[in-house]
């Protein structure tokens, strides 16, 4: 049956602009493209790039790391606000694509990936930032990383292995750096104890684990924004509490004295707690593993909105 055209037009005209932009495909200034020339790439991670037409030398760069079963393309499509904001602000976006074909997760378990310049996935991802700086003249200073789930684990691993590279990080539904470590050094291994929130340590112990990934380093560390739902049944909420301990110790903030606590901010059901400018937690009350990512909030935290 043919829909009545005037009814359709009336329905479209009555939609608010926001819904309208969701109905139609987003229009971006550029497209996500593979970067075939990228090297050195020790674990053969495909690199994809979104370079808006507004990008200029010296502009910020964000590494955007996908979830298990995801891909560069899927992550690009999953965060439609991000290329829009990148267009507005001239930000370069790097989307790595997991080389682990059986589960499309990231290696956050091997000794190599948990070591500065250890030659694992973390080194390949950091090299993408180097490549973007050398090839496109992205900023050496305004460098950020964000990720969801396995990508949030990698975000915390990169913050520990390459604290010299990243100025700030945002992790949606992840675990602390080192929590997924494989006792036998396996690459891309699932760690059920960590996933189920059974690995409990003191803040100092977690901080030591992060610092041990780059023991020679003693300078500035990436600021950290951590998101987690209390009803997460894939990576339990306890993992968030452990991550908060880790980064409070690394960033030397006092968990007893948050500088602000806001209920129902930035939206209903979320609680945002800030520890100075260094550490921010956003807890989703009753939210599961699929925490809705807020790119405005994250780019604002990065200081590039
Ligand atoms: C995202 O966060 C901003 C604050 O940075 C807030 O104004 C906005 O409402 C949030 N969006 C959603 C969908 O919650």
Q: What pLDDT does residue 26 have?
A: 79
Residue of minimum CA distance from atom 8 in ligand 1: 266
> How far is the C-alpha of 259 from the C-alpha of 274, rounded, in Å?
6
Residue 18 Cα to ligand 1 middle (Å): 14
Instruction: Assign residue 107 a region (left: φ > 0; alpha: ψ between -120 and 50; beta: otherwise).
Output: beta
Give the domain CATH number at 101: 3.40.50.1820
What range defines the domain where residue 87 resides? Answer: 5-302
Residues 6+ apart with CB under 8 A from 288: 229, 231, 232, 233, 234
User: For a substitution probing ligand 1, which of 284, 296, 305 has the most ligand atoms within 8 Å of its CB?
Assistant: 296
| 3-state secondary structure at position 244 | helix
Answer yes or no: 6 catalytic.
no
Residue of 109, 110, 124, 149 marked active site = 149
Distances 57 to 33, 134, 153 between C-alpha atoms, Å: 19, 10, 30
**pLDDT by 10s per residue, the chain, length 305:** 333 333 333 333 333 344 444 545 679 999 999 999 899 999 999 999 999 999 999 999 999 999 999 999 999 999 999 999 999 999 999 999 999 999 999 999 999 999 999 999 999 999 999 999 999 999 999 999 999 999 999 999 999 999 999 999 999 999 999 999 999 999 999 999 999 999 999 999 999 999 999 999 999 999 999 999 999 999 999 999 999 999 999 999 999 999 999 999 999 999 999 999 999 999 999 999 999 999 999 999 999 99
Compute φ and ψ for 42, nearest 5 degrees: -60, -30
Ligand 1 atom at shortest distance from the alpha carbon of 300: 5
pTM, full prediction: 0.92
* Closest-CA residue to 302 (of 135, 136, 63): 63
Work out the burial of residue 260: count CB atoms within 10 Å of its CB; fewer than 13 is exposed, 13-18 middle, 19 or more buried: exposed
Q: How many domains does the chain have?
A: 1
């Amino acid at each position: 049956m043919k829909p009545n055209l005037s009814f359709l037009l009336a329905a479209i005209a009555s939609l608010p602009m926001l819904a309208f932009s969701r109905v139609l495909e987003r229009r971006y200034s550029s497209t996500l493209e593979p970067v075939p020339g990228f090297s050195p790439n020790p674990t053969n991670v495909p690199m994809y790039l979104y370079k808006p037409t507004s990008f200029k030398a010296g502009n910020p760069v964000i590494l955007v790391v996908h979830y298990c079963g995801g891909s560069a393309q899927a992550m690009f499509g999953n965060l439609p606000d991000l290329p829009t904001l990148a267009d507005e602000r001239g930000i370069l976006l790097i989307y790595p694509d997991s080389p682990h074909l059986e589960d499309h997760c990231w290696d956050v378990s091997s000794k190599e990936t948990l070591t500065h310049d250890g030659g694992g996935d973390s080194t390949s991802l950091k090299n993408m930032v180097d490549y973007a700086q050398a090839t496109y003249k992205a900023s050496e200073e305004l460098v950020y990383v964000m990720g969801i789930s396995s990508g949030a684990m990698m975000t915390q691993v990169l913050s520990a292995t390459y604290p010299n590279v990243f100025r700030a990080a945002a992790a949606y539904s992840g675990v602390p750096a080192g929590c997924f470590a494989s006792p036998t050094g396996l690459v891309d291994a699932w760690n059920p104890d960590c996933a189920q929130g059974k690995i409990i340590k003191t803040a100092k112990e977690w901080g030591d684990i992060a610092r041990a990934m780059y023991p020679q380093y003693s300078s500035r560390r990436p600021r950290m924004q951590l998101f987690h739902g209390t009803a997460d049944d894939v990576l339990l909420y306890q993992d968030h509490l452990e991550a908060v301990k880790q980064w409070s110790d690394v960033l030397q903030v006092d968990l007893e004295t948050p500088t602000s606590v806001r209920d129902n901010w930035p939206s209903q059901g979320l609680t945002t707690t800030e520890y100075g400018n260094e550490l921010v937690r956003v807890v989703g009350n009753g939210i599961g593993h699929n925490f809705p990512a807020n790119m405005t909030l994250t780019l604002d935290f990065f200081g590039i909105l």
